[in-house]
Amino acid sequence: MRDDAPQIYLDYNATTPVHADVREAMLPWLGERWGNPSSGHSYGRAAAAAVAEARGEIAALIGAAPEEIFFTGGGTEADNLALFGSVPGPAHVLISAVEHPAVSATAEALGERGWTITSLPVAADGRVAVSEVEAILGEHARVDLLSVITAQNETGAIQPVAELAQLVRGRTPGAIVHSDGAQAVGKIPVDVGALGVDLLTVVSHKLYGPAGVGALYCRGELRLRPRLFGGGQERGLRPGTEPVALIVGFGAAAALARRTLAGEAARQEKLRELLWGRLAAKIPGIYRTIPAAHSLPNTLHVCLPGVRGPEVLARSPAVAASVGSACHSDQPVAVGVLGAMGLPPELAAGALRLSLGRGTDRDAIIRASDALVRGWRALTELN
């Protein structure tokens, strides 16, 4: 491959390009249209109306009411607000063992402040083991907050959030349930009522909107405590002048997702299966980490035998993908998400996350699979 040839992008779980419709919606707000939504004059009123329209689009995508959507500076901030803002004082929090650091590191920070944090184990299929959760609940008098990711960012495993919410509320009726929906919203249907969550994180740059903006859904009557203090925007929960262009882009991305989600999910799932079939046919012993039945339709997580993921990618320069946090060279056990799933370290070392998106077509899958097979072969011939 020539150095200047564009790589085949299979890293849509890291971020997505801003869609042309989204860019078009944003552009006026980076040019001839401006205004502070808090201003009472026509400029301010126009900006406030644009923010309100975007809020409605995001609410519609997840089955919420517009007033239940609070804009934040992204997913990390929404997760922090959900955990820090929902329970006053030291409490008992359950999180899964496969949370994104935006939740797990926040929980760690709460632990340092005296909260009790319990990690829920996952099974070998990448999902929280519901049967084990019942035993864990039996060991604790109450649960104040449950936070379980809707779909895992590295593996694509869709978690049994609704089941867990029901189980935890059976034990503590008033328990608050949060889910980090960063990877799920826009890729699969997500409805806050069906999930049974009080709080849901939504991220613009994972669904073809701009980075730097996200939202926290907060169920009607629930009152969060702010982490920032200032001018009272977002009804005092997240003060600071709204980034109108980003919010408008986020709203356009949500509208696009709502219009096209079903078709895109089916199309990408088919391509994902083509990718898996081509890799499995040529790489004996390749391991598919998450069964298709509960995987995000765009994500294929695999472990290649006898090699290390970063070396495969280095030998496959045509492909832009990622490896995740599978294994550190100096540790005898798999770490991170794959370690939590109990994968043997030598298998986890060969991990690759291949995530497809709107720009992926059949030709890209054929070229990418050929390149990855060549990369794997080059390494195994060396060994």
- Annotated catalytic residues are 327
In angstroms, give the least distance from the CB of 367 to ligand PLP.
Answer: 26
In angstroms, give the least distance from the CB of 314 to ligand PLP.
Answer: 23
In angstroms, give the least distance from the CB of 50 to ligand PLP.
Answer: 21
In angstroms, give the least distance from the CB of 15 to ligand PLP.
Answer: 8
- Determine if 214 is a binding residue for ligand PLP (CB under 6 A): yes
Q: Which is nearer to ligand PLP, 107 or 283 (CB)?
A: 107
CA dist 224 to 123, 215, 300, 326, Å?
A: 33, 14, 36, 35
Of residues 276, 279, 270, the one with CA closest to residue 372: 279
Of residues 318, 321, 278, 314, the one with CA closest to residue 299: 321
Q: What is the CA radius of gyration of the chain?
A: 21
Give the span between the Cα atoms of 319 and 342, in whole angstroms: 28
Q: Which of residues 121-150 bind ligand PLP (CB under 6 A)?
A: 149
The one among 25, 87, 133, 182 contacting ligand PLP by CB under 6 A:
182
- Determine if 186 is a binding residue for ligand PLP (CB under 6 A): no
- Alpha carbon 269 to its chain centroid, in Å, reads 17
Q: Considering only 71-79, 121-129, 168-176, 330-338, which stretch makes contact with ligand PLP by CB under 6 A?
A: 71-79
Q: Considering only 17-25, 176-184, 264-272, 341-349, which stretch makes contact with ligand PLP by CB under 6 A?
A: 176-184
Q: Considering only 34-42, 68-76, 247-255, 294-302, which stretch makes contact with ligand PLP by CB under 6 A?
A: 68-76
**Nearest residue (beta carbon) to ligand PLP:** 75
Binding site for ligand PLP (CB under 6 A): 74-76, 79, 100, 102, 149, 153, 180, 182-183, 203, 214
